[in-house]
């Protein structure tokens, strides 16, 4: 993608999935795809610097090419220097930068997890990512933070009872279940949403007062909550902790889901796995 690529600001400013990122997108020019200079300008205009876990201030730098020593690879360089390698005029990397702006503590926690796992593996010498890094990557790319104040609704989500959750209990969702895109890969997919688009949900318990918070306060609270959750090594130690979320089933995320028959598409709204009774 080049700097002349279409920058659909009007769509981004109104489509519901992009709501968490709007405070930052609104500070970018609406007639041109933002480059590294504009993204670093967002960092410079903050009241306080975003910092990775070793204390270095965050900034966006061009992506390096070729085989790199350990300290210069993506996650170590971010952790050690605060430098996030970013391709210019690239949707995937743009959304990564905007998610850093929205959820700085949680993103720093994920980066710290990657760095620790790489060090434990001897500087990346071990084959494969390992379960911890697989979970961190899936959350980072495709994660949906599901703020849940109702164990009953959370159970419906985990059990893949989509029509009951999204249609029959629809009126209860605004005060009990909140879906917030976290994965930057999902934001890229949401540019051209399609039936089949699915996120990986991480349910986090919240109190009912969460739903009375303004949007900015909600996002800051989720950032702190997710970062604290990820700091416990027992959490997200494998991908099984994440549960699929068919995103276009969320009320108002697709105008077609105002019809109950929308949820009869079992190719998209797949039933859960059978549970063998004890």
Using one digit for the tens of pLDDT, what is the confidence trace for 200-236? 999 999 999 999 999 999 999 999 999 999 999 999 9
Claim to verify: residue 116 and residue 167 sit in the same structural domain:
no
**C-alpha to C-alpha distance for 102 and 43, rounded to whole angstroms:** 11
The answer to the question of residue 270 being in a domain is: no
Higher pLDDT, 114 or 274: 114
| pLDDT at 278 exceeding the cut of 50 | no
Strands 198-205 and 243-246: antiparallel
Claim to verify: residue 166 and residue 48 sit in the same structural domain:
no
The answer to the question of residue 23 being in a domain is: yes
Please name every residue paired with 57 in a beta bridge, in sequence order, or none if there are none: 51
Give residue 223's domain range: 137-264
- How high is the pLDDT of residue 276? 35
Claim to verify: residue 93 and residue 201 sit in the same structural domain:
no
**C-alpha to C-alpha distance for 18 and 25, rounded to whole angstroms:** 9
- Spatial neighbors of 255 by CB under 8 A, at least 6 apart, are none
Claim to verify: residue 141 and residue 253 sit in the same structural domain:
yes
Residue spans of alpha helices (H) in the chain: 9-12, 22-25, 36-44, 74-81, 91-102, 104-120, 131-142, 151-158, 162-163, 184-189, 215-230
Claim to verify: residue 185 and residue 228 sit in the same structural domain:
yes
- How high is the pLDDT of residue 177? 98
| CA angle in degrees (0–180, nearest 5) for 144-22-263 | 40
Claim to verify: residue 227 and residue 250 sit in the same structural domain:
yes
- Mean predicted lDDT score pLDDT of the chain: 92
The structural domain count of the chain equals 2
The answer to the question of residue 113 being in a domain is: yes
Task: Check: CB of residue 76 under 8 Å from CB of residue 115.
Answer: yes
Claim to verify: residue 161 and residue 246 sit in the same structural domain:
yes
Give the domain-ending residue among 97, 128, 159: 128
Banded pLDDT at 123 (limits 50, 70, 90): low
The answer to the question of residue 4 being in a domain is: no
Claim to verify: residue 99 and residue 158 sit in the same structural domain:
no
Higher pLDDT, 30 or 22: 22
**C-alpha to C-alpha distance for 260 and 196, rounded to whole angstroms:** 17
Q: For the segment 57-110, what is each residue's pLDDT rounded down to a tens digit?
A: 999 999 998 889 999 999 999 999 999 999 998 999 999 999 999 999 999 999
Banded pLDDT at 4 (limits 50, 70, 90): very low
pLDDT, average across residues 124-139:
79
- How high is the pLDDT of residue 128? 57
């Amino acid at each position: 993608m080049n700097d002349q690529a279409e920058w659909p600001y009007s769509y981004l400013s109104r489509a519901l999935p992009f709501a968490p990122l709007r405070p930052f997108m609104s500070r970018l020019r609406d007639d041109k795809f933002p480059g590294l200079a504009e993204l670093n300008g967002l960092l410079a205009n903050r009241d306080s610097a975003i910092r990775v876990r070793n204390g270095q201030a965050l900034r966006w730098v061009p992506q390096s090419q070729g085989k790199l020593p350990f300290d210069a690879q993506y996650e170590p360089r971010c952790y050690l220097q605060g430098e996030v390698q970013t391709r210019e005029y690239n949707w995937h990397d743009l959304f990564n930068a905007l998610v850093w702006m929205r959820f700085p503590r949680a993103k720093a926690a994920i980066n710290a997890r990657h760095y620790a796992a790489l060090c434990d593996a001897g500087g990346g010498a071990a084959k494969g990512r390992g379960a911890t890094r697989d979970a961190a990557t899936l959350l980072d790319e495709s994660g949906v933070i599901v703020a849940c104040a109702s164990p009953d609704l959370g159970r419906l989500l985990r059990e893949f009872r989509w029509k009951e959750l999204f249609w029959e209990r629809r009126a209860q969702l605004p005060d009990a279940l909140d879906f917030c895109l976290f994965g930057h890969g999902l934001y890229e997919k949401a540019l051209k949403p399609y039936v089949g688009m699915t996120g990986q949900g991480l349910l986090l318990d919240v109190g009912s007062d969460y739903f009375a918070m303004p949007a900015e306060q909600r996002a800051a609270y989720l950032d702190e909550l997710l970062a604290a959750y990820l700091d416990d090594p027992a959490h997200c130690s494998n991908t099984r902790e994440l549960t699929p979320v068919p995103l276009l089933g969320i009320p108002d995320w697709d105008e077609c889901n105002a019809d109950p028959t929308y949820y009869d598409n079992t190719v998209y709204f797949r039933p859960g796995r059978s549970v063998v009774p004890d």
